[in-house]
């Protein structure tokens, strides 16, 4: 392919040539070879400087179409040139004169500022620093400047980004000096807010790199843990910058998923040293309660973190039993009352007023103590809390049983069956079912003496209830009582509620419960005689 001379009067011809080549793979390759051989991109960028100075609007629009076309050729050799230190800002400058982009120079100003911040990362090797900038620039072009082209249309650009990520990962994964400097800068008072954000985001992305390249993520995170990653994350979680705290939570999630032991050891040590429990757990709780409205993905993430940390199956076999007990005692006496505060609240005129004394373990947590009853966001938060409590019921039987009985928590949870949010009502029912499945005599006595099944019966008898998923879930729970041979609870249901439940004849559940109850009574009499 013969290229026209790189002049203002030939730009329309060049744009047409590139556009026509896009439809043929062989022509794309031939055009790419010609562009590289003649150093044509550098010539175009020199011409761009002239056109921008003279404000030749038609020529600038042609240059924008030409650069977009060259990117769409998606040839690795050209991408390397366009994303080089010498050419990239000129390429972006050309693209800025396209019809769909922001006013000229906006992207260049932004990229100049962000590139300066990324250059503050303590990468000592110039070649590696250049690869990092190229990766960032390529991601910016793909996501911000040319988003309409989509993932599938630029496979070589995607491959270019992946290749740079892998080169960066291999160059830095074992560089202890680099990571020590990163961790030190993250917590240094002299580090500015924007620089700290770049550092923590880089660390988060690097954790993701280790997964993408199927490397030993656990070994990488263990190296960071030995350098002091956990206390650094604790400091970041305590900062007022929500973006930094959120990124720190993401990094902690990676650490807990792949390498939980250093985190568990850290929180157990903190629980021993401090009267009010562990700062790390308290800060995670703060993340839950202080997220902006609607950001309950963060609450769910915190709950997953807590479940992993609280799972006895994840603890090292060599862990000190006294440390473990101290940590669990700290969690149940200091942290769980805060997490369950919305459940322990008293309903007053459409709001739940929370006892602020529950929060004295979190002196930095300013909370008004009021949640809207049945507000959707509150319902989401309560559902997440219920999920953690259900986990505790199955994994910490004695600790959580004492907690539930002391606070009369099951009664509070079962009130949620009246919620207009079906997911929350079903979560409360699931919690009850997990407790019943334990067949624990203390729980059973608590349910019968407290008459805690009343909300379930009321839900069954409500007008139009048969059209609701909750109705059938409650029926299934009563059937579960019969199948699991829960004698005390079956007797409680029949003796207290059968006169109203026998009217439900579209299922045989309660007739079956009555027959089981009478059969159990006969056997009991026979055993006495």
Give the separation between CA 170 and CA 166, rounded to whole angstroms. Answer: 6
Nearest Cα to 420, choosing from 466, 475, 469, 490?
469
The whole model's pTM is what?
0.80
Give the separation between CA 72 and CA 19, rounded to whole angstroms. Answer: 9
Residue-level length of the chain: 529
DSSP letter assigned to residue 422: H
Cα Rg, the chain, nearest whole Å: 32
What ranges do the domains of the chain cover?
Answer: 1-172
> CA 26, 30, 35, 39 torsion: positive or negative?
positive
The 10 Å Cβ neighbour count of residue 522 is 10
Query: Using H for helix, E for strand and C for coil, what is the string for 211-258?
Result: HHCCCCHHHHHHHHHHCCHHHHHHHHHCCCCHHHHHHHHHHHHHHHHH
User: Given the DSSP bridges, would you call strands 351-353 and 346-348 parallel, antiparallel or unpaired?
Assistant: antiparallel
Q: What is the pLDDT of residue 375?
A: 78
Give the separation between CA 440 and CA 449, rounded to whole angstroms. Answer: 14
Give the separation between CA 173 and CA 212, rounded to whole angstroms. Answer: 14
| DSSP run (H or E) holding 370 | strand 370-372
Give the separation between CA 75 and CA 63, rounded to whole angstroms. Answer: 19
Instruction: From first to last of the 529 residues of the chain, give the pLDDT tens digit.
Output: 789 999 999 999 999 999 999 888 899 999 999 999 999 999 999 999 999 999 999 999 999 999 999 999 989 999 999 999 999 999 999 999 987 766 777 888 988 888 887 887 888 888 999 999 999 999 988 888 877 665 557 889 999 999 999 899 888 988 999 999 999 999 999 999 999 999 999 999 999 888 887 667 888 899 999 999 999 999 999 888 888 998 999 999 999 988 888 898 888 888 877 665 568 888 888 777 766 444 555 788 888 888 988 888 777 665 677 878 888 888 888 888 888 888 877 544 444 444 444 444 333 333 333 444 567 888 888 899 999 999 999 998 899 999 999 999 999 999 899 888 999 999 999 999 999 999 999 999 999 999 999 999 998 888 666 678 898 999 999 999 999 889 999 999 999 999 999 888 888 999 999 999 999 888 888 776 5
Q: What is the pLDDT of residue 120?
A: 79
């Amino acid at each position: 392919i013969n290229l026209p001379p790189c002049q203002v009067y030939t730009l329309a011809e060049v744009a047409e040539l590139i556009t026509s080549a896009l439809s043929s793979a062989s022509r794309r390759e031939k055009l790419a070879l010609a562009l590289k051989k003649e150093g044509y991109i550098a010539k175009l960028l020199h011409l761009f400087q002239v056109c921008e100075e003279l404000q030749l609007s038609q020529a600038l629009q042609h240059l924008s179409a030409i650069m977009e076309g060259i990117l769409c050729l998606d040839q690795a050799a050209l991408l390397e040139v366009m994303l080089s230190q010498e050419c990239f800002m000129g390429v972006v400058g050309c693209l800025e004169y396209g019809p769909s982009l922001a006013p000229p120079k906006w992207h260049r100003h932004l990229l100049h500022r962000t590139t300066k911040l990324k250059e503050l990362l303590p990468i000592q090797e110039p070649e590696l620093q250049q690869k990092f900038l190229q990766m960032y620039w390529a991601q910016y072009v793909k996501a911000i400047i040319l988003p309409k082209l989509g993932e599938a249309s630029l496979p070589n650009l995607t491959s270019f980004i992946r290749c740079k990520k892998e080169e960066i990962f291999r160059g830095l994964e074992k560089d202890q000096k680099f990571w020590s400097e990163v961790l030190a800068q993250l917590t240094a008072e002299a580090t500015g807010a924007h620089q700290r954000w770049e550092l923590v985001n880089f660390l988060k992305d690097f954790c993701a790199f280790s997964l993408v390249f199927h490397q030993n993520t656990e070994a990488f995170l263990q190296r960071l843990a030995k350098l002091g990653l956990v206390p650094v994350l604790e400091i970041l979680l305590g900062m007022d910058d929500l973006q930094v705290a959120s990124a720190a939570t993401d990094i902690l999630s990676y650490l807990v998923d792949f390498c939980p032991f250093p985190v568990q050891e850290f929180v157990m040590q903190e629980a021993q040293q401090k009267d009010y429990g562990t700062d790390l757990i308290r800060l995670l709780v703060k993340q839950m309660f202080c997220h902006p409205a609607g950001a309950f993905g963060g609450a769910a993430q915190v709950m997953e973190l807590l479940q992993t940390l609280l799972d006895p199956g994840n603890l090292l076999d060599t862990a000190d039993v006294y440390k473990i007990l101290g940590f669990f005692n700290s969690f149940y006496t200091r942290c769980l009352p805060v997490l369950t505060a919305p459940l322990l609240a008293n309903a007053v005129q459409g709001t739940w007023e929370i006892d602020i004394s529950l929060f004295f373990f979190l002196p930095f947590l300013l909370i008004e103590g009021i949640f809207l009853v049945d507000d959707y966001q509150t319902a989401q938060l309560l559902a997440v809390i219920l999920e953690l409590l259900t986990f505790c019921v199955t994994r910490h039987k004695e600790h959580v049983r004492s907690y539930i009985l002391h606070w009369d928590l099951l009664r509070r949870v079962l009130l949620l069956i009246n919620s207009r949010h079906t997911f929350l009502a079903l979560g409360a029912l699931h919690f009850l079912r997990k407790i019943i499945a334990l067949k624990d005599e203390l729980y059973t006595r608590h349910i019968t003496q407290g008459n805690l099944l009343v909300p379930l019966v009321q839900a069954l008898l409500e007008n139009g209830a048969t059209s609701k998923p909750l109705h059938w879930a409650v029926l299934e729970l009563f059937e579960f009582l019969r199948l699991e041979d829960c004698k005390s609870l079956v007797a409680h249901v029949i003796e207290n509620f059968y006169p109203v439940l026998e009217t439900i004849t579209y299922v045989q559940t309660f007739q079956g419960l009555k027959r089981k109850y009478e059969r159990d009574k006969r056997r009991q009499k026979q055993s006495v005689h």
